[in-house]
Amino acid sequence: MLRRAENVVLASALTLMALLPLAEILLRATFQVGISGAASFTQHCALIAGMLGAAVAAREGRLLSLSMLDTLLEGRCALLARLFTRTVAVIVGALLCLASVEFVLAERAGGNVIAYGIPVWLGQAVLPLGFALITLRLAWAAADSWPARLATLALAAAVAAAALNRLPLNNAMAIAAISVVLVAALLGSPVFTTLGGAALFLFWNEGLPMASIPLDHYRLVVNPSLPMIPLFTLAGYFLAEGGAPGRLIRVFDALFGGLRGGAAIVTVVACAFFTSFSGASGVTIIALGGMLMPLLLSAGYSQKSALGLLAGAGSLGGLLPPGLPLVLYAIVAKISIEEMFLAGIVPGLLMVTLIALWGFSRAPRVVHAARKLDWREARAALLAAKWELLLPPVAFLGLFGGFATPVEAAALTAVYAFIVEVLVYRDLGLRSDVPRVMAECGLLVGGVLLILGVALGFTNYLVDARIPERAVDWVTGAIHSRWMFLLALNLFLLVAGCLLDIFSATVVLVPLMVPLGIAFGVDPIHLGIIFLTNMELGYLTPPVGMNLFFTAYRFGKPLPEVFSAALPAVGVLAIGVLLVTFVPWLATGLPQFLR
């Protein structure tokens, strides 16, 4: 019953997020009026979807972790590791729940309203409710016995009581607590507990109110542009779960499959297309891998080359609009989303071309006679997929047509994808499939927004401690050349990409990087593309390289084998990173030309 209710509420929140902006477009076009508070309602729907999606991720045991070490342990060691990591997660979750209650109570006293007399605190109440549900589910997953679960909850309650009573936390205790959080991260605790735990104990040590962490979470999630992330992701999920993968692969195969290396081109283009909308390369690998692997093998590619190509191609698309990483960077760096979209086009196409060329180089020279382009099959494939091929033009028209805001353009794209997959092709049933697809989308979005919210709390602590200013002083004193700074930045981001996922890295590192870039005369847009290309590279580098995990999971291969297969793609993407870094106009040329 609870599972069904969660899925229904989650789907309803995503539906409102899509329909409210669309209604705004229609009302402006027909009656030159809008809906009072529509933007605010949309933003609070994003908050509801985010917290409930995170609770669903906890329910399914799919909160994002940085380490898979716990899966390598066996027997008693595995049980102890699970108990330890989940106990730490429960403690952090309980503290975040307590901090959220304090935040909501403080906001309730303010008496602010969203619209139509609905108080703001009512929407904010989803924060403590969501953290409570996540905490209880983490406690349930901590062990198989009730005594162990209750002991975990009791320990978390004791720590929360100490925080509530403002018991002092000295430096030694804070260092010990953060060390425990880091050890838990190495053993596989969720990412949000690592960043949230560090922020909580740092605030506690300084005597600062921990309620500022859920406040930062709230401010980030209700950012006017942030609903773009779940809406474009929803469009990608409708495509991936419908019949679009088969139809689009048929189109690309009809056009390029007859060429030597054509299967590689089909793989790269299809993966980039899907990742640009879904915002998650793992979704692309899972959705397309089963169709693309046989295509590559039938074209004569070795198993190793096919694995490497799929892992590498899955990381593409994040730089192509409306890629989620572009939106997130623009929000955090406080720059134009439209300019970031334009800036990502040339570097994104460059990365696609480089991986395609590498795939072409791995193609067998003689497998069978080259297949001539079958115009009848190409025409039939194009006609069959015409509505899905129109999705990028619909998104671009909404973004750059001047009649819709970026959020409204994202809503238009999501509704268009729904209509195409549910009503036109009827690949998804309205009752049987749509709620499941929306719940799966909400799960991903919730997991991401949970990380982003607590990461912003950690970042703001660093800002309050003047870490960015000290970093600027230190770096400008040690490095005097702009080019040396860019080289050092790439080395730093390469290491960061090996240790952080792209979401938390964006929120934590970008506020530190932007002042440094400005100090050395680097355009924030160029800096963003450098950052994101490095993060694309991070998808393929251990220990965090998520594409390695998804590829290993999808094809049942050990991680070392997948990494060995993907190593050439790492080198190819590294060349692209250097080109983007030292040829700035690749990133800044198009935005400057169209200003």
Average the pLDDT over 90-95 and give the result.
Answer: 95
Of 300 and 354, the structure prediction assigns the larger pLDDT to 354
Q: How confident is the model at residue 246 (pLDDT cuts 50, 70, 90)?
A: confident
The rounded mean pLDDT for the chain is 87
Q: Is the pLDDT of residue 433 over 80?
A: yes
Give me the pLDDT at residue 588, please. Answer: 93
Identify which of 495, 494, 483, 493 has the alpha carbon closest to the alpha carbon of residue 522.
Answer: 483
Residue 247 tokens read as: 């139809």
Average the pLDDT over 71-89 and give the result.
Answer: 82
21-25, 166-170, 500-504, 543-547: least confident range: 543-547
Give me the pLDDT at residue 282, please. Answer: 67
Amino acid 207 reads: G
Identify which of 316, 229, 228, 306 has the alpha carbon closest to the alpha carbon of residue 270.
Answer: 316
Q: How confident is the model at residue 466 (pLDDT cuts 50, 70, 90)?
A: confident
Q: What is the 3-state secondary structure (H, E, C) of 158-182?
A: HHHHHHHCCCCCCHHHHHHHHHHHH
Give me the pLDDT at residue 291, please. Answer: 83
What is the CB-side half-sphere exposure of residue 167 using CA atoms within 13 A? 9
Give me the pLDDT at residue 434, please. Answer: 92
Count of C-beta atoms within a 10 Å radius of residue 164: 14
Amino acid 522 reads: V
Q: pLDDT tens across 494-517, in order?
A: 888 877 778 888 888 899 899 999
DSSP 330-399: HHHHT--HHHHHHHHHHHHHHHHHHHHHHHHHTS-S-SSPPPPP-HHHHHHHHHHTHHHHTHHHHHHHHH
Q: pLDDT tens across 368-408, in order?
A: 555 677 788 889 999 999 999 998 888 888 888 878 888 99
Identify which of 211, 194, 255, 248 has the alpha carbon closest to the alpha carbon of residue 65.
Answer: 194
Percent of the chain residues past pLDDT 90, beyond the cut: 42
Q: How confident is the model at residue 107 (pLDDT cuts 50, 70, 90)?
A: confident
Q: What is the 3-state secondary structure (H, E, C) of 446-477?
A: HHHHHHHHHHHHHHHHHHHCCHHHHHHHHHHH
Cis previous bond, 543, omega within 30: yes
Give me the pLDDT at residue 167, please. Answer: 87
Amino acid 335 reads: I
- Residue 408 CA to its chain's centroid (Å): 20
Rg (the chain; Cα; Å): 24
Give me the pLDDT at residue 100, please. Answer: 95
Count of C-beta atoms within a 10 Å radius of residue 55: 28
Separation of alpha carbons 213 and 387, rounded Å: 44
Q: Is the pLDDT of residue 367 over 60?
A: no
Q: pLDDT tens across 186-244, in order?
A: 888 898 999 999 999 999 998 888 999 999 999 998 888 899 989 998 998 898 888 88
Separation of alpha carbons 384 and 252, rounded Å: 12
Average the pLDDT over 31-44 and give the result.
Answer: 86
Within 479-545, residue ranges assigned H as helices are 482-499, 502-519, 524-538
Q: What are phi and psi of 114, to 5 degrees?
A: -80, -60
Q: What ranges do the domains of the chain cover? A: 66-221, 240-428, 466-593
Which position has the token pair 């040329």?
589
Q: What are phi and psi of 428, to 5 degrees?
A: -115, 135
Amino acid 528 reads: G
Give me the pLDDT at residue 416, please. Answer: 95
Give me the pLDDT at residue 502, please. Answer: 82
Separation of alpha carbons 195 and 551, rounded Å: 26
Give me the pLDDT at residue 300, please. Answer: 83
Q: What is the 3-state secondary structure (H, E, C) of 231-264?
A: HHHHHHHHHHHCCHHHHHHHHHHHHHCCCCCHHH
Give me the pLDDT at residue 61, please. Answer: 87
Q: pLDDT tens across 134-180, in order?
A: 999 999 998 888 898 999 999 999 999 999 888 888 889 999 999 99
Amino acid 417 reads: A
DSSP 125-156: THHHHHHHHHHHHHHHHH-SSHHHHHHHHHHH
Residue 90 tokens read as: 């429960």
3-state secondary structure at position 119 = strand
